[in-house]
Every structure is written in structure tokens, then in C-alpha cells.
Amino acid sequence: MASSRLKYLSLGVLVFQTTSLVLTMRYSRTLQAEGPRYLASSAVVVAEVMKIFTCVLLVLKEHSYSMRALNSILRQEILHKPIETLKLAIPSGIYTLQNNLLYVALSNLDAATYQVTYQLKILTTALFSVSMLGRRLGIYQWLSLLILMTGVALVQWPSESAVTPEKEAHSAGSQFVGVAAVLVACCSSGFAGVYFEKILKESKQSVWVRNIQLGLFGFVFGLFGMLAYDGERVRESGVFQGYNTVTWTVVALQALGGLVIAAVIKYADNILKGFATSLSIILSTLISYFWLQDFDPTGVFFIGAILVIAATFLYGYEGKPSPNPSRA
């Protein structure tokens, strides 16, 4: 009974995190407010700081709130093992790029289209798992990947609408930028996720310590990117220009979302994750249409979305056990 409750709690947390982050990020990037809009590069840096602080508290809790034990474990794992720490610079840099790309994508795509297209990370993760971890995919997994690509292609299918040529050209340009950002984010997500999984399997260290290491590199890379691309605006109006309640909500969801999922994912099987993805896509579509009002669904979009949802379930289907099965 307790296990069943934890599963449903996991489902609720997964749906809430994946849906709320996308919708609030999209809302924050399209919200018309006085003064300058917040810098996406700044939000990425602040999220890394928040993630590091949270992980430090979790490590402290693991060691019975002993500051001496915390200091010892951080020095031993971060300062005394520089090679192991440097290995995390690669996925950290890629995650930083990915986080910035998500802001670009949601500045140019509605939440529903983004949610469906971003499921291509299943494809990239599967391919990197095969090449880097030596996993073997079953017939259901390969079939689901083909269905997934078909569904995403249909979602991106251009629709006919009565708009002026100038507006249509601008919309097409924004769509291209958004889709390109999502595709690069999918590739980076797949590679970084598999690379990080490989590192975790090769060591026995706490996942929270590994996230501190990731966060430290992410902070450095993010700070460098912010100064390189938005340095002038930072000097003029500060790092926290344009921040409001919505912005802080986005930052908190981005910083804590991955940690929350890491904490509850052990209770969620593949079918449950499929339900979470499906519910998130449906909720994002409904809220984009009724609340944000930036999405005009078509029959082709719904067919594509159904195919993507079906592919998500099929990829997690447990068929006959194989010598080295793949898991989503």
C-alpha cells in the first residue's frame, strides 16, 4: 500500500515538474512587463547556485548535519580527486548549453510543440546508450524510435493559416530557431545524460556530491557565457534585471526539478514515466490553448502527439528479457 502511494506520488511530482517548468518558462519569456526582460544566461547561473546550495544541504543531512563530515567529504571527493572532478566538466558544460537552449526554444515555440518535440531526447539517449554503454535495444524499442520520429515530424508539419506574408515569414523564422534549439538540446541531453550515468556507475559516490561537482562547473561555464554574451547589459542593469515572482519560480523549478526527479525516480517504472510524459504533453497543450493562448492545434498536430505518446509507452514496454536490456 505504501509502495503504491509512493508510485502515485512520484507520478504527480513528475507531471508537476515537467509541466510547470515548461509553462512558466514559456510564460516568463512572452510576458509583457515594464523594464528589461530577465536574462536567460543569468537565470541559468542563479539556478546552478541554488542547485549547489541544495545539494550541500542534502549531503549535510546524509552525514547527520555534521559540518566536520561535510567538510571532509567535499575536500576528499572534490579537491583530492581532481581527475575524477574534471571528468564532470564535459557533461556540465553540455548541460549549461542545454539549459540556455531551452530558454531560446521556449522564446520561439509554444509549450505544446516544445513538449512533443523535446521527446526526441528518447531517441538521442537510446543511440548514445547503444554506442557508449553497449546497451542492446529490443524490437519494441527500435519500433518506438521510428514512431517517435514520425510523430515529431508531423508535429512540425507546417499548417495553413490566414496571416500576412511578413508575419508568416517572421513566424517561420521563430519556428526554425525554436526547433533548432530543441534538436541541439535533445542531442546534448542524450550525450550528457549517458555520460553522467557512466560516471555514476564507475564510482560509489553520492549522487548529491556528483551534482555539486556538476553545479560548480556549471556555475563557471554559465558565468563565462553570461559575461560573454550579456556582459554589457549586466554592467548596465545588473544580474537580476527583470526578475519577478515568475522568474524566481522558473529558476527554482529548473534548479530543483532535476534533483526532485532524481529522488523519486527509483519509485517510478517505465510505464509510470510514460504516463507522466503523456499527462505533461496533454496538460501543456490544454494550458497553452486556453491560458497562454499562443497555440492553435491542428489535426496533424494531434496525430503526431498521439504517435509520440504511443512511442513513449512502447519504448518502456518490458518484453521478453534479453541479455542486456535497455531501459528508458
Task: Output the pLDDT for position 191.
Answer: 92
Task: Output the pLDDT for position 276.
Answer: 76
Task: Output the pLDDT for position 170.
Answer: 46
Task: Output the pLDDT for position 182.
Answer: 93
Task: Output the pLDDT for position 164.
Answer: 46
Task: Output the pLDDT for position 167.
Answer: 46
Ranges of the chain with pLDDT below 50: 162-164, 166-170, 320-328
Longest dimension (CA), the chain: 67
Question: What are 100's three cell numbers?
Answer: 540556455
Which residue, 220, 213, 218, is CA-closest to 199? 213
* Whether the Cβ atoms of residue 73 and residue 67 lie closer than 8 Å to each other: no
* Whether the Cβ atoms of residue 281 and residue 116 lie closer than 8 Å to each other: yes
CB atoms under 10 Å from CB of 68, counted, come to 8
CA distance 81 to 204: 14
Q: Which amino acid belongs to residue 244?
A: N
CB atoms under 10 Å from CB of 154, counted, come to 20
24 CB contacts (<8 Å, ≥6 apart)?
Answer: 246, 249, 250, 253
